[in-house]
Structure 1
Amino acid sequence: MPIVVGIDVMLARRKMSVGELAERVGITPANLAVLKNGRAKAVRFSTLAALCEVLECQPADLLRWEAEDAAGG
């Protein structure tokens, strides 16, 4: 999928655990893991907003688009 999730990077920058982020955002660690690992098919704007608020970042810090290469695409 050409959408790359950068939650790991922001967690490292903020020195925060997945469990702490999940608790502060109000989602389960399992659901956060699905999103963090790029397996989510969708994300609610309210969840994205909560992630940005807790991590003090912009949506573009968490999600980016990368073109799929011709061989793998």
Structure 2
Amino acid sequence: MPIVVNIDVMMAKRKLSATEVAEGIGITLANLSVLKNNKAKAVRFSTLEALCKVLDCQPADLLEYIPEKD
């Protein structure tokens, strides 16, 4: 998949645990894990906004486009 999720990178930079982030954005650890491990098919803007608020970052810090090679 050409979209890479870098939530774990931002969590490490901010020195926040998965529990702290999940509680801060109001989702379960299981759902945070789905997001972090590139398993989600979609992300709500409200969740993305909450992640940016808790991690003090921009959406581009969390999502990266890497084109697939032919």
User: Could you say which TM-score interval applies, normalised by the shorter chain?
Assistant: over 0.9
Equivalent in the alignment of 1:51? 51
Distance in 2 (CA, whole Å) between partners of 1:69 and 1:37 is 21
The AA in structure 1 aligned to 2:52 is C
Equivalent in the alignment of 1:10? 10
How many pairs align? 70
Output the aligned Cα RMSD. Answer: 0.5
Unaligned runs of 5+ in 1: none
Shift of 1:50: 0.2
| Within-5 A mapping of 1:18-57 | 18-57=18-57
Unaligned runs of 5+ in 2: none
- Alignment identity in percent? 69
Structure 1 segments of 4+ aligned residues over 6 angstroms from their partners:
none
The structure with the larger Rg is 1
Distance in 1 (CA, whole Å) between partners of 2:56 and 2:69 is 32
